[in-house]
Amino acid sequence: MIIGEIMDAVILCAGKGERLRPLTENRPKPMIPVAGKPILEHIIEKVENLVDNIYLVVKYKKEVIIEHFKNRPKIKFLEQGEIDGTGQAVLTAKDYVDGDFLVLNGDIIFEDDLEKFLKCKNAMALTEVKNPENFGVVVLDKDNNIIELQEKPENPKSNLINAGIYKFEDEIFEILEDIEPSERGEVELTDAIKELIKDRKIKGIKLDGYWNDIGRPWDILDANKHLLGKIKTSIKGKVEENVVIKGEVIIEEGATIKANSVIEGPAIIKKGAVVGPLAYIRPNTVLMENTFVGNSSEVKGSIIMKNTKIPHLSYVGDSIIGENCNFGCNTITANLRFDDKPVKVNIKGKRIGSVRKLGVIMGDNVKTGIQVSFMPGVKVGSNCWIGANCLIDKDVESNTFVYK
Amino acid sequence: MIIGEIMDAVILCAGKGERLRPLTENRPKPMIPVAGKPILEHIIEKVENLVDNIYLVVKYKKEVIIEHFKNRPKIKFLEQGEIDGTGQAVLTAKDYVDGDFLVLNGDIIFEDDLEKFLKCKNAMALTEVKNPENFGVVVLDKDNNIIELQEKPENPKSNLINAGIYKFEDEIFEILEDIEPSERGEVELTDAIKELIKDRKIKGIKLDGYWNDIGRPWDILDANKHLLGKIKTSIKGKVEENVVIKGEVIIEEGATIKANSVIEGPAIIKKGAVVGPLAYIRPNTVLMENTFVGNSSEVKGSIIMKNTKIPHLSYVGDSIIGENCNFGCNTITANLRFDDKPVKVNIKGKRIGSVRKLGVIMGDNVKTGIQVSFMPGVKVGSNCWIGANCLIDKDVESNTFVYK
Amino acid sequence: MIIGEIMDAVILCAGKGERLRPLTENRPKPMIPVAGKPILEHIIEKVENLVDNIYLVVKYKKEVIIEHFKNRPKIKFLEQGEIDGTGQAVLTAKDYVDGDFLVLNGDIIFEDDLEKFLKCKNAMALTEVKNPENFGVVVLDKDNNIIELQEKPENPKSNLINAGIYKFEDEIFEILEDIEPSERGEVELTDAIKELIKDRKIKGIKLDGYWNDIGRPWDILDANKHLLGKIKTSIKGKVEENVVIKGEVIIEEGATIKANSVIEGPAIIKKGAVVGPLAYIRPNTVLMENTFVGNSSEVKGSIIMKNTKIPHLSYVGDSIIGENCNFGCNTITANLRFDDKPVKVNIKGKRIGSVRKLGVIMGDNVKTGIQVSFMPGVKVGSNCWIGANCLIDKDVESNTFVYK
């Protein structure tokens, strides 16, 4: 296929993103903001100029996706039916796409421009990782034909893994229709790909640059950091007296940096956000629309979602804070263990090691009282009230009122 | 009566102001500072140019009033005797005033210039309120003669209420002398007024503009806000490097704003006060003489009485803090409920709703340790010590040492 | 003796400094930094130009002294043997010094230039104090010969005390060799001096200016304050935008003062130290090499030893903090009692009054969690972890993990 020829893209956005609770309580995973916009927006930007139509296969919290993208001419929405699985998601697009088409998982941040990839008929994008045992491992022959797929193998045969981006000819639909749903009642795309592999009809194409399959909260912060590393300074908002800005910082029109604040980029401060006076924004921070970080507060390496207020004397580090939260004065996050070991986080009931510095993962509409402390790696569900002086060292379920 | 003719004023300042405890523990209510000076000073400024003599009827903590006003030529002090009540207070002035005279309650903040009012023989100032059932309601005929007084009526006949300012001819003294003391042993001015009403001899004159009968702590903050809304910038104190001042701010001679602080008016910073460095003063704040608000501290919508120190990392919002207090590092006031309902305050044993944002009401000579928290609407009596790390969520009696 | 003639100095640095635990856990007392360098360095600077050789008599933690001074040409190290006592320490130098020589205690900060002193044959430096009963009291005849030594007398005969600086002829070694060790197995220098006194062969010479025998933590802070009072501004480090510096401040090359910070001298900020942004350094503070005092933090009247980090929203006042400590966000020291009495400190098991303002005395390698509070005068041993939200109101033994 030649670039420029008619082609469509199908992006899989139907999943629940349970490992990312509580961030996915009120939005599907692809709508989590990274570097100032939803993960899905980053994916769309990558393919928008390569395709004619973009079909977003939606289901869980579909209204959030539709509301955000409804006025974009190339974008159409397809709702996945009862049957689950990535294969079924692709099948949803059967009656819409024509000829070759791209399929992308809706939760990946990648740097490659897909150019090499588009030259193939059937192809799977690959990326090299240090821990292939947690992914779908791919084995290639010398002509880059995929000859084997290993799903989370104990003994991986390579460190190349399935990067969640595919190119298919439309015959894939017939193959998918022939596949029996799994025990879990799902039709998996990889089962169809295995049919292509039998005939050596699908290439494995290694992506260049950064790639991250957003599965756990710290993946979001890692992708955020990567993308912020690429921004260039653009200051369109209001910057008051004695504000000092260092590094690459985007301050959107309608944002205000109040007097005597200090900002160290890379950082993005969105429309309607107010910083300061006397606040300190540190690298790898994104303040979404209408957020407020006030007097003597410090935010570092964190994503603060829209309408959230951190008015005074607070510290938020290496954290993800949902929308419409309000932090009482002197709300402090810890982000480091005394023993410097990876911070432990509960992911779907299991306590697993994350990264050396991780703060709090908070849902939407949380209010904290004054002098509240969060221990590293705790998760706080949506709609919680955390009473004054509480020390939160365990996860807090959504809709909980914690008090002393 | 023609303006310019000889006339006296009698201001009633004898009461105990119990609803305003602990602020009235060491001063009578008229001496509580609002917008940088005592309530009584504001009243005197209103009448000073209209009258020849001002008689302050004093009793409770009279020495505070006398000390403050003793060198003012038009002002004389009259001490009320054993018998209580506003009528008795007026009678105290019987031998001093001659002809027509004004009577004013010593606890009202009002905007009207009294011009219309002075043209009457006998008159009561009126103001319109939304909740007349809590006041003395006045019914007028078409000629503005008062025809009825209802005291805190369940079914008010109008929303015009007695504003606590009167003009009388001296015959009022005879009427007052004929009145029997009430069951509580008090002679009430309204009982005398009822005699005037019988003969349609007293007009009701509606005041223009702001009026507030200071009865509860949040009335003080409301009046403070109103009066600060009228100030004009005047900076005579020392302002160090990189201080940013916005809005209307009065910084008196002998005050110092230290480096890198931010002040957002309206605000008044009195002689001898020190702000900063790196402090943040927000609108509707008054720092009285010799106060100190230091590093990273923030004060908003509050009155800080003289000699009080808030040296570091503290937040005081929507609060009234007495004299000679000292706040340990990181003393924080909460001023908002999670449920956004009016903050509850104990007033004379009853728990009543106040306003949406209210912090702490504190007497004099209170010391707090480090990391102390105050919940919205708590009252702390004079001479208390609040130990480090305490969370104060109940009122604290005077002379108490609270510790963990 | 004529100045310029060959002479040596012996400095006694072998002791354990137990009253200064935990500061002496990892260094001998003479190596505690005061005004930016070890006590011993200040002593050496005083005598360096007066003598040919400086013999440091070392024992406890000798490697710290040797490492620091090993490349200084005039300095030699002598290790004291099994027998303890100041006399034995001086004897250690017997085979090295020739003719007249100076002996200095290794733990005194003094201002005098020793000129008068050097003109004598045998001499003891004296200083006048208000509490001679805690020291060795000296009685002089009219020719300034010492005629009596009283050791911590109940009824001191003068307020002149032994200042810990001596000049001797080499016959002192013979006298020392004849002295029997005390019950504690120590040979004391004062016993030898008593022999000189018998023959009126030793003068008492009063020192001019400041003198402090560093025995207790607050002596360190007092000496630090005195020496900082003498510094002159020298700014060789990097000073970012809107930094305000007042008073005499030394900022060494390789130090950085980040944006919008405020520094009030006298203060010393050593190589590699980082201050700010938005930090506040107050008078009588020393930040040793590679320390960090960050956003909204304030340090006053304190010594922060090398590599210690105070990153955010913390207050350290009148404290001594060891090396390699890390303070969680919002770690606060209290330094004042509510009753304004001297802060009590445990010194070798006894609880004694110190000074009106004293914070925390902390060893090396301590980590604090977020929102930790220290009460005035507490001591925290080396290698402790103080968990989030802890209030430390008792001394903490070394190697302890305190948590809630």
Furthest-apart CA atoms within chain C: distance in Å: 67
> Is the pLDDT score of C4 beyond 60?
no
Q: Does C329 touch chain B (CB under 8 A)?
A: no
> Is the pLDDT score of B2 beyond 50?
no
| Weakest mean pLDDT among A319-328, B133-142, B184-193, B333-342 | B184-193
The pLDDT score that the predictor gives to residue A99 is 87
Nearest-CA neighbor of A275 among A335, A229, A235, A318?
Answer: A235
Among B262, B330, B368, most C C-beta atoms within 10 A, so best to mutate, is B330
The pLDDT tens digits of the residues spanning A26-57 come to: 999 999 999 999 999 999 999 999 999 999 99
CATH code, B231-402: 2.160.10.10
Residue B115's identity, in one-letter code, is E
> Is the pLDDT score of B1 beyond 50?
no
- Taking CB atoms and an 8 Å limit, are C373 and B367 in contact across chains? no
Q: How many interface pairs between B and C have CB atoms less than 8 angstroms apart?
A: 70
Mean pLDDT score, B233-255: 98
Nearest-CA neighbor of B355 among B243, B217, B224?
Answer: B217
Q: How many Å apart are CA A239 and CA A256, to the nearest integer?
A: 6
> Is the pLDDT score of A182 beyond 90?
no
**Run of H or E including A268:** strand A267-269
Which of A262, A338, A393 is the closest to C259 by Cβ?
A: A262
The pLDDT score that the predictor gives to residue C99 is 87
Mean pLDDT score, B254-281: 98
Active site residues of B: 312
The pLDDT score that the predictor gives to residue B82 is 82
Residue A366 with chain B: CB contacts under 8 Å = none
Chains that touch B (3 or more CB pairs under 8 A): A, C
| Weakest mean pLDDT among A395-399, C193-197, C380-384 | C193-197
Taking a contact as any Cβ pair under 8 Å apart, which residues of chain C between 353 and 382 contact chain A? 367, 369-371
Question: How close is the nearest chain A Cα to the Cα of C388, in Å?
Answer: 8
The pLDDT tens digits of the residues spanning C97-129 come to: 988 999 999 999 999 999 888 888 999 999 999
In percent, the amount of chain B with pLDDT more than 90 equals 89
The pLDDT tens digits of the residues spanning C325-335 come to: 999 999 999 99
Which of B260, B328, B401 is the closest to C242 by Cβ?
A: B260
- Taking CB atoms and an 8 Å limit, are C338 and B385 in contact across chains? yes
Mean pLDDT score, A118-141: 93
> Is the pLDDT score of A378 beyond 80?
yes
> Is the pLDDT score of A6 beyond 70?
no
The pLDDT score that the predictor gives to residue B6 is 66
The pLDDT score that the predictor gives to residue A286 is 98
| Weakest mean pLDDT among A81-85, B168-172, C93-97, C230-234 | A81-85
Confidence of residue B285 (pLDDT cuts 50, 70, 90): very high
Main-chain dihedrals φ then ψ at residue B117, nearest 5 degrees: -60, -40
The pLDDT score that the predictor gives to residue C2 is 46
SS (H, E, C) C365-389: CCEECCCCEECCCCEECCCCEECCC
Question: How close is the nearest chain C Cα to the Cα of B97, in Å?
Answer: 51
Residue C262 with chain B: CB contacts under 8 Å = 258-260, 277-278
Nearest-CA neighbor of B399 among B366, B377, B373, B371?
Answer: B366
Confidence of residue C170 (pLDDT cuts 50, 70, 90): confident
Closest-approach residue (CA) in chain A for B245: A259
Q: How far is CA C60 from CA A100, A127, C16, C63, C320, in A?
A: 80, 58, 6, 8, 21
The pLDDT score that the predictor gives to residue A316 is 98
**C53: helix, coil or strand?**
strand
The pLDDT tens digits of the residues spanning C281-327 come to: 999 999 999 999 999 999 999 999 999 999 999 999 999 999 999 99
CB–CB of B103/B9 below 8 Å?
yes
Alpha helices in C230-316 (DSSP H): none
Architecture of domain C232-402: 3 Solenoid (2.160)
Confidence of residue C186 (pLDDT cuts 50, 70, 90): confident
Q: Which CATH class is domain A227-402?
A: mainly beta
Q: Does A309 touch chain B (CB under 8 A)?
A: no
Closest-approach residue (CA) in chain C for B389: C391
CATH code, C8-215: 3.90.550.10
Question: How close is the nearest chain A Cα to the Cα of C280, in Å?
Answer: 12
Got the DSSP string for A90-153?
HHTTTTT--SSEEEEETTEEE----HHHHTSSSEEEEEE-S-GGGSEEEEE-TTSBEEEEEES-
A313: left (phi over 0), alpha (psi -120 to 50) or beta: left
The pLDDT score that the predictor gives to residue B5 is 60
| Weakest mean pLDDT among B195-209, B213-227, B299-313 | B195-209
Average pLDDT, chain A: 95
**C47: helix, coil or strand?**
helix
Residue C388 with chain A: CB contacts under 8 Å = 334, 373, 375, 391, 393
Which of B244, B280, B334 is the closest to A388 by Cβ?
A: B334
Confidence of residue A150 (pLDDT cuts 50, 70, 90): very high
Among B256, B275, B389, most C C-beta atoms within 10 A, so best to mutate, is B389
Q: How many Å apart are CA A111 and CA C78, to the nearest integer?
A: 65
Q: Which of A42, A68, A226, A312 is catalytic?
A: A312
Residue B391 with chain A: CB contacts under 8 Å = 371, 388-389, 404
Mean pLDDT score, B191-203: 91
Which of C242, C260, C313 is the closest to A315 by Cβ?
A: C313
Residue A261 with chain C: CB contacts under 8 Å = 260
| Weakest mean pLDDT among B30-34, B47-51, B254-258 | B47-51
Q: Does C29 touch chain A (CB under 8 A)?
A: no
The pLDDT score that the predictor gives to residue B99 is 87
Q: How many Å apart are CA C320 and CA C27, to the nearest integer?
A: 14
The pLDDT tens digits of the residues spanning A211-255 come to: 999 999 999 999 999 999 999 999 999 999 999 999 999 999 999
> Is the pLDDT score of B3 beyond 90?
no
Among C330, C332, C383, most A C-beta atoms within 10 A, so best to mutate, is C330
CA C26 to chain centre: 14
The pLDDT score that the predictor gives to residue A1 is 42
**A46: helix, coil or strand?**
helix
Q: What is the value of ipTM here, to two decimals?
A: 0.95
The pLDDT score that the predictor gives to residue B160 is 95
> Is the pLDDT score of A350 beyond 90?
yes
Taking a contact as any Cβ pair under 8 Å apart, which residues of chain C between 147 and 176 contact chain B? none
Chains that touch A (3 or more CB pairs under 8 A): B, C
Q: Does A298 touch chain C (CB under 8 A)?
A: yes
- Show me where the domains of chain C are located: 8-215, 232-402
> Is the pLDDT score of C358 beyond 90?
yes
Q: Does C242 touch chain A (CB under 8 A)?
A: yes
Question: How close is the nearest chain C Cα to the Cα of B348, in Å?
Answer: 30
Q: Which of C42, C68, C226, C312 is catalytic?
A: C312
Among C338, C343, C360, C394, most B C-beta atoms within 10 A, so best to mutate, is C338
Residue A333 with chain C: CB contacts under 8 Å = 329, 370
Give the β-pairing of C33-34 and C37-38.
Answer: antiparallel
Q: Does A329 touch chain C (CB under 8 A)?
A: no
Nearest-CA neighbor of A75 among A91, A58, A59?
Answer: A58
Residue B298 with chain A: CB contacts under 8 Å = 295-296, 312-313
Task: Match 């972890």 to its residue by tokens.
Answer: C385
The pLDDT score that the predictor gives to residue C183 is 82
